[in-house]
Amino acid sequence: MSWRDTRLQVQMKLLLDEQMPRKIARHFPEGYTVDHVQLVGWGGVKNGALLKLASENGYDALISADKNLSYQQNVNALKISVVVLNVYQLRIDDLVALLPSALQELQNAEEPRFIRVDV
């Protein structure tokens, strides 16, 4: 099954990066499984290794607020999408406001890619 086939299923499996507040998980709509890096035991894992682990464990995307993530990874080698929510502060209300755009971008993606959603 290709990445596109798994993406088109009703369910998407998403991983929240370490700096993301855990409480944001409850703000995702039905049809998304949302885990947090710390809750799956991957706290402290560097970004490259984290993306590999996430891909190997069936995640469709990593959701992050790390603005440098796109500069640290090879875009052409991505096996899952990376969504960067570009906020000034990690306030839950600011992050939640970006979720609809971020999820729409994920659904429209033809292949794994970096997605940046700005305030």
Q: What is the pLDDT of residues 65-113, one digit of tens each?
A: 998 887 777 767 889 999 999 999 999 999 999 999 999 999 999 899 9
Domain that holds residue 36: 3-110
CATH number at residue 48: 3.40.50
- Helix ranges (H only) for 21-119 are 47-56, 69-72, 92-108
Is 90 within a domain? Answer: yes
Is 55 within a domain? Answer: yes
Is 119 within a domain? Answer: no
| Backbone phi and psi for residue 34, each to the nearest 5 degrees, phi listed first | -125, 120
**Burial class of residue 80 (count of CB atoms within 10 Å of its CB; 0-12, 13-18, 19+):** buried
Is 7 within a domain? Answer: yes
pLDDT at position 77, please? 81
Supply the pTM of this predicted model. 0.89
Is 118 within a domain? Answer: no
Is 115 within a domain? Answer: no
Cα separation, 15 vs 63, whole angstroms: 6
Is 86 within a domain? Answer: yes
Q: For residue range 18-54, what is the model confidence (pLDDT) as tens digits?
A: 999 999 999 999 999 999 999 999 999 999 999 999 9
Q: How many domains does the chain have?
A: 1
Is 117 within a domain? Answer: no
